[in-house]
Structure formats: C-alpha cells, structure tokens
Chains A and B, each alone.
Chain A
Amino acid sequence: MINMKLFKSKKASSILMMVFELMAVVLIVSMLMLVSKKLNDSESVHKNLIAEDLNMMINYMASVSGDIILKYPLQNSSKNISAYEIVLTSSNVDGTGTNDAELKVSIGGEVSLLDSKRTLFLPTGYTAIGIAEQKERICLTKQGKSITLEGC
C-alpha cells in the first residue's frame, strides 16, 4: 500500500522529480549512444563502397561495345560482400521506359535509411537488372544491351 502522504510531502516530491530527471537523462544519453552506434558502424561505409564500385563498373560496361563479364570483388581481395543484398533495377525492362537504373545495397534485404543507392543513366535500349543475396562474389554480365547482376 503506497503511503499517499509521501506524495504530499515536499521533500518526497522533490526526490521523485530528481529520480524522474535522472531517468530522463539516462534515457537521452542511451538514445544518443544507440543512434551513434547504429550510424557509426563500418557497415554503412562498406555499403557505400560497394555501391560506388558497382556504379563505376556498370558505367564502364555501358561504354564497352562488346560483351563483357566483370567479377566483384577480385579473387584475392579481402573484401567480404556476403552480408549484403545487392539489387539492380531498371526502368526500361520492357524497352519503353526511361534509361535510368537504380542500384541498392542493403543488409539482408532490410529497408533502411542507411541503404546505399545510386542512380545510373544508361544509353537508350539498355537494361540493367539483377539481384544477389548474400553472395561471396557477384558477376556483372553485359550481353548486347542487357546488363545483369547475379551471384557467381
């Protein structure tokens, strides 16, 4: 049974207010630490690096006149991409849309504000599609005007 007199006492309410303030401070500090920990992990940097590398590889493929296969990462590279889901979508799958494609790198397919996205502009008639879920290595293949991304 809570003694209601406790709340009426000035000293008790002051202590309660202090406890509440301390809890609020602890909550704020832990919230900031959680946010900074989530944002400052190396995953985000890795995602950006992978997206940046693939963006340049696809742009290069759009420049080459013949067919080509590019593997990523290199055979002896220490880079590990198996934790990520890489999705390449094109607006021009049926040949009637615009020429832009979107490259998205995420962790385990989770939708997050920290997903790395890149927009690519390909020559008319080109398509770029594919998905690689948690693969150790991916292959970008250009055949004619079609660029595909898959695990290999």
Chain B
Amino acid sequence: MSNKKAQSAFEIARKQIFWIFMGLVVVVAVLSFTYIIQNYISHLADTPPELELQFITLRFLENPDCFAYQDSFNGKVLVNTLDINKLNEERMDLCYFTGESKGYNYPNFELYFPEINLSFNTNEYYGMVDHTYFKQINIKNGTEIYSTNLIIYIQENMETSRHDETWS
C-alpha cells in the first residue's frame, strides 16, 4: 500500500518536473521563433545593397560639401568634377562620418585615384572590401580640368559575410 502511495507521489513529482522543464523549453522556443520570423521579415523587403550604396556614393561626386567642384563666382556645381583641394581625409570626415561606436556596421568607403596615386577613406574603413565601384571622373586643379579614374572600395558591413563584387 505504502509502495503504491510512494509510486503515485513519484509520478506526480515527475510530471511537475517535466512541466517546469517544458515551460522553460517553450519560452526558449517562442523567443527563438520570434527572433527567426523577425529576422526573416526584416530581410524580406531588402533592396539590393548596390542601390543604396549608389545613392550614398553619389554625394562624393555631386555635392560641393563633399568633393564636387563649385565655381566661386557663380556658385555653379560641376557634376562629376572633383576639386583637387577637397580631396583629403578631413573633407571625407565632413562628408561621411559613421560615428565612433559601431560605425563599422554601416557602409564605409575608400576613394582611390590610381593616376595621381591618392587615396583616403572614411573613419571606420578597415579594408574589408565588399564592393568595388569604378568611375571615370574629372579633376579640377586650378584652371586645368583633366579626366581620371576613380575606384571606390566599399566595406558594406563588418558583421555580414564578405563577398567582392565589382560594378560601375
């Protein structure tokens, strides 16, 4: 009789332990499920990264607050023409600065002008190149304008997987 009682008590205790354990498993499962679905949804509406990067890199070539040449007399901006006096890292920091903390999780750029052997980059650029962008541009140096090549190396996000894609 006492053996049966003990067995019954053991049965109930076993079920309680099972349900406590199951409760923890269910909480973990729901949280993981939420995370997986949320991650899936956030990537469902992703646009190709090249598109967004094109819009950002456009400022290097067209905005006089970045590197684009602006005529001091009439204020006219020469699109696709860069001012040689603006081509330096200080100007780059004024044009695009990702912040000190976690800036590496956002696109960072290196501008390289092979013909004049000049390069500079944004503050959190570590050379982990995801995309390479080739562009034919003009450089204004005093009264002279000459055509040259510009290579923009893009480090998209240090946390994402690496892949090198070349586009122009």
Report A's interface with B, CB cutoff 8 A.
10, 13, 17, 21, 24, 28, 31-32, 35-36, 39-40, 44-45, 48-49, 52, 55-56, 59-60, 62-66, 98-100, 113-114, 116, 119, 121, 123-126, 145
B97 with A55: CB separation less than 8 A: no
Whether A45 lies near B55 (C-beta < 8 A) is no
Footprint of A on B, CB under 8 Å? 8, 12, 15, 19, 22, 26, 29-30, 33-34, 37-38, 41-42, 44-47, 51-52, 55-56, 58-59, 61-66, 68, 70, 77, 93-99, 106
Residue in A closest to B97 when the chains form the complex, CB atoms: A99
Residue from A28, A49, A64, A121 in contact with B62 in the complex, judged by beta carbons closer than 8 Å: A64
In the complex, what residue of chain B is closest to A43 when comparing beta carbons?
Answer: B41
- Which of chain B's residues have a CB closer than 8 A to the CB of A35? 30, 33-34, 37
* Chain B residue nearest in CB terms to A59: B55
Number of A-B contacts (CB under 8 A): 101
State whether A32 touches B62 (Cβ < 8 A).
Answer: no
**A42-B52 Cα distance, complex, nearest whole Å:** 23
Question: For A125, what are the chain B residues with a Cβ–Cβ distance below 8 Å?
Answer: 65
CB–CB A52/B45 < 8 A? yes
Contacting residue for A123 out of B26, B46, B59, CB 8 A: B59
Inter-chain contact A13/B12, CB cutoff 8 Å:
yes
User: Given contacts A63-B58, A121-B96, A123-B95, could you give 6 more A-B pairs where the C-beta distance is less than 8 Å?
Assistant: A44-B42, A56-B55, A60-B55, A64-B63, A99-B97, A100-B99
Q: Which 9 A-B pairs have the closest CB atoms?
A: A48-B45, A63-B58, A63-B59, A59-B55, A39-B37, A65-B77, A124-B94, A49-B45, A44-B41
Chain B min CB distance to A34 (Å): 10
The CA-CA distance from A45 to B33 in the complex, in Å, is 18
Instruction: Report which residue of A13, A59, A100 has the largest number of chain B beta carbons within 10 angstroms of its beta carbon.
Output: A59
Q: How far is the CA of A66 from the CA of B15 in the complex (A)?
A: 72
Chain A positions within 8 Å of B33 at CB level: 32, 35-36
B94 touches A123 (CB 8 A): yes
Which residue of A13, A39, A98 contacts B38 across the interface (Cβ within 8 Å)?
A: A39
